[in-house]
Each structure stands twice: as structure tokens, then as C-alpha cells.
Structure 1
Amino acid sequence: APKGWISGPPTTSHGKLFQLWALGLFCTERHLAKRLKNNSFYPFTQQQPNVFVLEYYLDTLWKGMLLFVVCLFLISFGVQKQETWGLPAYGVGVGLWIMISSLPRRRLVLNHTRGMYHFSIQGHTVYQGPMHLVYVRLARSSDAYGRCFFQLVLCGYKLEPLVLVHLSERYEQMEFLGRHIARKLNINYFDCLDTSYRHVVRHWPLGAALSPGVLLRKTKAYDKPSSQSDLDV
């Protein structure tokens, strides 16, 4: 079978359900590049040609667990006065609620054969819609000193935003990786600016004309095959 082709039903390992949690603390874009070398369709797996599947748990699961354990520890050992129990008790409740809401397993399917994507939680369909509603976005934020930070996010209608790379100051590398992921998954890519020539739009709403607010970037040089891996950045 061709490389990256998974014959038969997808075999979801325990580790793949938590793969979005391990985003790397330092040099996050290089960490993502290594993952893309191991799986060119990361974070998805190819179930069959033109069909990509992603099964995962939200990272709020471990955050809720951490909040629950810390607040429970404060109630059990760290709090001596009864009047100070309120805040840790509230944290226990919030942590427990976050854990329970994050426990159901998510499943996202990109089916280019049908031109649709399907998102479900614990086997129950949340939304099924056309492919132009799911995309990779380069998000931008800044700190008090004016420095800009970027992160790659997988977004879609009725889909929880999934962070693929945490904050990084390297715009060029982040853009390269975002466009690479979008090209391999055959979905749209959007720059951090709403009106930008760096958008790569592959799917339009049915019957829609080309929007004057979106300038397409020529990608002929980008798509040119090369003997060397294009992820050696």
C-alpha cells in the first residue's frame, strides 16, 4: 500500500488520542515539523485515499484534573480555617465539571470523496458540513511590549479550536508549516490578517464567486516536488 495509506478500519492507539497535548515547550515549530515527518497528515491519519480521521481528547481534561487535585489537596491538608474552604471547594467543583465535559472522545473526519467533514462527540453527530467550513488559521497575539506571537489552530464550524502549535515568534516558519498542513489535508489556510494575499483558498461555498477581499497566493513553486524533505526547516 502507498505510504501513509491505512488499509481497513483505522486502528486508534491510546497515545494518538492525546497527541495534541504534546506540543513541546520550546521550539514548538520544530517539534511540529518532526511530527509531520513521521506522519505527513498530522494530526490526522489517512483511513483511505482522500479520507482523514482524527480522534482525540481535549487538553482541558488534564487541566481539569490538575485543578481538581490541587484544590482537593488544599481542602484536605492546606486549609485549617473553615472560613477559607470556599475557594478550594469551588475549584474542586469547577475542576470536576471540566473533567466530565472533556471525557467524551471527539472524532473529526475529512471526507474529500464526498466533499464533507463530520464532527462527532462520543459517537453522536455534532455537525456535518461542506469542506470550506474547516480550515487551518495562523492566529496572532501580542504582549505588553508589542512583540507578536503566532500559533496554528485547526478551526471549523461547530468544531472546538484545536491548537497545533503554541505561541512562537517565528512567523515565516509558522506560515510554512500551516500551509504545509493545509496542503496535505487539502483544506483552506488563512493568514492572521483578514485581508491578505497569503490566504490559500481551495474550497469555496457552492455557487460563490471569488471574493474581492481575498487575494490568492501563487503556490506553483511551493508545490514543486523536491528530493529533499520540505520540512527540513
Structure 2
Amino acid sequence: MTIGIFGTWDHQFNATEQALTDKIKNNPCYPFTIVKDVFVLEYLHENIWKGSLLLIASTIGTACYMNMEFGKEYRYYIHTHLRHRGPLHQIYIRMIAQKSGQVLLMYKLMLNGYKIEERELSGFSEKYELLECQGRRIATKLNLNYFDYQDTSKRHLVIHRPKIILSANNDRNNPPV
């Protein structure tokens, strides 16, 4: 027979009568226990404020856990061999443009990054707005940066930036990398 707080968890899968019979066999004074010739009935009084406090603490802990940024780095494998590990600002989705004929621009989306082989995400298309929308959506879902085909554009989506590491040796002639 389980004693203490675990007694409330002592569930039987038998019929109710059989469970009660087993408890009486194990403890002739059931539902009491005898402690120094005194019958003791253990009663657990659970305070609601303790439960509320635990609920609030676990909710806050869960929220903090879910908002933590895990492993702000990517790993690039070829088969099972790790080729490179780096911060997320080094991997991105980029739209490239190429002239078709004399004036018509064709666009496609590429996945690229430092020490990563360039990967084609879409074929060429004339529909710039549609590809841009899809590229931004992919970048947002994967938590990556998105860059337009123009080097300077208001359509870039920069989520991750490189961290600037300042040291005592840096001065104006030697800016941080």
C-alpha cells in the first residue's frame, strides 16, 4: 500500500469492491493509519494560491523558453559530413535577374550563403512581384534574410545582422569586421 501523498495515486484497475477489499487486507484500520496508538487520517489540503503561483510561474517559464533563440547558427552538411557551421546572417535567399533577349528581365530565387553551394529555388519567371512575395515568405518561414536582385533596394528583408565585436585594439583606422 502506498503511503503519504502517493496514496492518492494508488488507483486500482479492478472493480471497486475488490480494490476496497485489497486496501482493507493491507491495512485493517483503513482509511486510518496507526501512529503510536493514535488513529491518523492523512488529509491533503492544497492551497489554491500555491497552485495559481505554480501556474503563473510555469506559464512565464514556457513563454521564455519558446522565445529563446536556439542555435542562432546554421549547419551545412553534405551527406553526414559537416562542411560548415556559421551564424544565420551568412545564409540567405536572393532574387537574381537576367536579361532575356534585349529588354526583358527574367527572375529566379536562389538559396545562397557562406561556404554553401548556390541552390536554385525556382526557375526563371517574368513575374517579379509573385517571386518576390514567395521569396519573402520562404525567408520568413525559415527565419532567413531575403535580398532583392538590386544591391540597394527597399525590398530587402534583413532579419539577422552580423554582430559587431569591439575590442580594445580597434580604432578608427582599424574598424571591426
Q: Verify: 1:202 aligned to 2:166, yes or no.
A: no
Report the counterpart of residue 172 of structure 1 in structure 2: 129
Deviation at 1:184, TM superposition (A): 0.7
Matched to 2:164, the amino acid is: G
Moved over 4 A (4+): none
Pick from 85, 90, 93 the counterpart of residue 128 of structure 1: 85
Deviations 1:137-175 (A, max 9, x none): 011001222210000111111111111110000000000
Runs (5+) with no aligned partner, structure 1: 1-48, 51-111, 209-233
The structure with higher relative contact order (CA 8 Å, sep 6+) is 1
Matched to 1:182, the amino acid is: A
Work out the CA distance in 1 between the residues paired with 2:152 and 2:79: 37
Report the counterpart of residue 182 of structure 1 in structure 2: 139
Runs (5+) with no aligned partner, structure 2: 1-65, 166-177
Matched to 2:162, the amino acid is: P
Work out the CA distance in 2 between the residues paired with 1:140 and 1:189: 15
Work out the CA distance in 2 between the residues paired with 1:122 and 1:185: 21
Deviations 1:52-83 (A, max 9, x none): xxxxxxxxxxxxxxxxxxxxxxxxxxxxxxxx
1:1-233 alignment, distance < 5 Å: 113-207=70-164
Work out the CA distance in 2 between the residues paired with 1:153 and 1:180: 14
The number of equivalent residue pairs is 99
Report the counterpart of residue 16 of structure 2 in structure 1: none
Question: Which has the larger Rg?
Answer: 2
Percent identical residues: 40
Counterpart secondary structure, 2:75 = strand
Work out the CA distance in 2 between the residues paired with 1:149 and 1:142: 6
Work out the CA distance in 2 between the residues paired with 1:197 and 1:173: 17
Counterpart secondary structure, 2:119 = strand
Matched to 2:79, the amino acid is: Q
TM-score by length of 1: 0.41
Matched to 1:174, the amino acid is: L
Report the counterpart of residue 59 of structure 2 in structure 1: none
Deviations 1:177-199 (A, max 9, x none): 00000011111000000011110
Work out the CA distance in 2 between the residues paired with 1:169 and 1:204: 31
Work out the CA distance in 1 between the residues paired with 2:139 and 2:79: 26
Q: CA RMSD in A?
A: 1.7
Matched to 2:152, the amino acid is: T
